[in-house]
Amino acid sequence: MVLTLLVLTCFCSLWFFQTLSVTSPDGHPGDVWRREEEVSYFNLTAYFDTGTLKYMYFILVLSLYLSVIAANVLLIVLICVNRSLHEPMYLFLCSLFVNELYGSTGLFPLLLFQILKDIHTISVSFCFLQIVCVYSYATVECLTLAIMSYDRYLAICYPLHYNTHMTSHKVFLLVALSWLCSFITMIILISLSAPLQLCGNIIHKVYCDNYSIVKLACSDTTVNNIYGLITVVIVIIIPLFFIFYTYMRILKVCFSGSKQTRHKAVSTCTPHLASVINYCFGACFEVIQSRFNMNNVPNTLRIFLSIYWLTCQPLFNPLMYGLNMSKIPVKCPVHEDLRLKQQYFLKV
């Protein structure tokens, strides 16, 4: 149901872009229509000729994509079918895993398709659709990590009042707001970028991103740049500062508490903190790749840095939480069967 809603939202955004592309406000073909006559597709120039090795790269990327799907779907199913896991922390994790599926689907199918092609082009419409998917994924990821840090803050710093503050209604509201805010910001972003008059169609990456399109604009992009900065501050910088603040409070409680409290806090917060650090590294790589001249960097390394946050994070999160959250492995039927066999042999 959630994935269906996401797909419908993406296609609504695409329809909105196409509506802007057909006519101007006065009912006549406008600048966007003229732009589409001039630029109907983009060239993704980061791809290079790999010859027959492209089939090996295709298999490797496909294996990675299938691993992402398997790991995230497994944990989503485990959380959904086990009523004992219907707690705020695991519900937030479920939303995070759904977002990993959503974000990886915004990249991998196009990546697999382009690997097998000799000419690496993408239509304007699908380019903007990919921008919506990739950017909304990044926004939901950061907001969800901030919400999870708030959840850990309440659980560790105010354990007696945790159930009062973190109700099921509040959990649903926080998850819904993280997704809604993401798509609202993306619709505004596309509505600002779509009308731009472009003077080129070269994108020096393996996928579409908004800043690369804005750099191709012949018209004034002041509004786009201002909105981009505001969006980064609201959906990236502020949540990361909030995460930093909550962990400072958690550390303060841990140092003043017992050894058992410190051990519990460390075991609970380690996967989340590792996920935040990995996301920050990926985001930094993407900013460096987009904003600075990387011509002196080998092309293979540039490609890796540009897709790190879209390929590693969706696999990193389920592995970290699946291995470190003790309640998830215990509830897995295979682990439960092994545990029962161990108990039987010990009795014998």
Structure tokens at 237: 């910088």
Q: Is 122 left (phi over 0), alpha (psi -120 to 50) or beta?
A: beta
Structure tokens at 29: 């073909």
Mean pLDDT of 302-321: 88
Q: Alpha-carbon distance 205 to 303, whole Å?
A: 7
Mean pLDDT of 179-202: 91
Q: Alpha-carbon distance 148 to 288, whole Å?
A: 27
Q: Do 78 and 97 contact (CB within 8 A), yes or no? A: no
Higher pLDDT, 295 or 135: 135
Instruction: Give residue-wise pLDDT tens across range 51-97.
Output: 888 899 999 999 999 999 999 999 999 999 988 888 899 999 999 99
- For residue 255, the model assigns a pLDDT of 76
- For residue 208, the model assigns a pLDDT of 92
Instruction: Give residue-wise pLDDT tens across range 199-232.
Output: 888 998 899 989 889 989 988 899 999 998 999 8
CATH no., domain 2-323: 1.20.1070.10
Q: For residue 46, is pLDDT > 90?
A: no
Q: For residue 141, is pLDDT > 70?
A: yes
Return the domain boundaries, the chain.
2-323
Residue 42 three-state SS: strand
Q: Alpha-carbon distance 251 to 109, whole Å?
A: 42
- For residue 324, the model assigns a pLDDT of 62
Positive or negative, the CA dihedral 8, 12, 17, 22 is positive
Residue 217 three-state SS: strand
DSSP state of 3: H
Confidence of residue 306 (pLDDT cuts 50, 70, 90): confident
CA 230 vs CA 59, 131, 226: distances in Å: 40, 18, 6
Q: What is the pTM of this model?
A: 0.80
E-strand ranges in the chain read 41-44, 121-123, 202-203
Structure tokens at 153: 């803050």
Q: What are phi and psi of 233, to 5 degrees?
A: -65, -45
Instruction: Give residue-wise pLDDT tens across range 112-124.
Output: 999 988 888 999 9
Residue 203 three-state SS: strand
- For residue 283, the model assigns a pLDDT of 85
Q: Do 115 and 58 contact (CB within 8 A), yes or no? A: yes
